[in-house]
Amino acid sequence: MKPHPTFNGLYVPLVTPFTDDLRLAPDALARLADEALSAGASGLVALGTTAESATLTAEEKQTVVRICSAACRAHGAPLIVGVGTNDTATAITSLRELAATGDVAAALVPAPPYIRPGEAGTLAHFTALAEHGGIPLIVYDIPYRTGQTLSAATIAALGRLPGIVGIKHATGAIDATTVELLGSPPPGFAVLGGDDVVLSPLVAAGAHGGIVASANLRTADYAELISLWRRGSGAPARRLGAELARLSAALFAEPNPTVIKGVLHAQERIPSPAVRMPLLAAATGTVRRAALLAGSRARHSSPCTDLNSALPHRY
């Protein structure tokens, strides 16, 4: 039998900072990684959707993983790396390459996108990855991106595989499958919330933590939210959860991570709000609204505290 879940708490899927001319900004990424872990994140996620991983070159991906690995080693924290492909053989190769580095605690892998192989095919895909990839896997269940829904029975079957250690649950709703999953997760299987706006009720219902893009901002508060629910402090958790849900909604008002990058830039934490096409930079008003919410709590982890004065000059 598996032990208790290894992956608990808050995991921050970092953005990939760029310069105005769309070059990777490694120093800014290193600062973001250190800030997130110093603010209370349990670990980091590199090369997730939030990182614009589909637009990165192979060399850039290696740089991102190297920087995030160094930060996690310094803090004694686990690193999760996104591996997204709809080809099983290619995914196995990528997983083996990650495993060979020795610095990655797990890979975050979606159900095969676009192909929609059905639940039997999806289970066979993950079985092959678990058996041959050489690294623990966290299933990324996000049907609105993959086109593939996973039932509670399929998730339970995945959780019984020795190489699968958790799931990022981002189905867009708290439904009967969610309730069944949280009511009796497989032993040693971490259920991590992946829909930022409903993180609070997911953790209240039994999720072990979350992979939360919004936590690139106010990291300490998102970590505290999870801690409050796990300590049974319902009243303050509900208040903080409602506040952070408003922030998450503002950050996802335009495609992720455009608004997050806009706010990070306004806070002078990254050199540019630039994103690579097909994404376009978020609108000024959208960023301003989110930035005000990101700066509304005194103890958030950003070094910039005067957003009201900073934003009009920067945008």
DSSP secondary structure letter of residue 197: G
- 99 CB contacts (<8 Å, ≥6 apart)? 133, 134, 135
Residue 76 CA, chain-centre distance (Å), reads 19
Known catalytic residue at 140: yes
The catalytic position among 2, 61, 114, 140 is 140
Q: How far apart are the first and last CA of the chain?
A: 55
Region of residue 132 (left: phi > 0; alpha: psi -120 to 50; beta: else): alpha
Q: Residue 240 has which token pair?
A: 């903080």
Known catalytic residue at 168: yes
Contact 42, 75 (CB under 8 A): no
The catalytic position among 2, 11, 61, 168 is 168
DSSP secondary structure letter of residue 57: -
R_g over Cα of the chain: 18
- 295 CB contacts (<8 Å, ≥6 apart)? 267, 302, 304, 305, 307, 308
Known catalytic residues are 140, 168
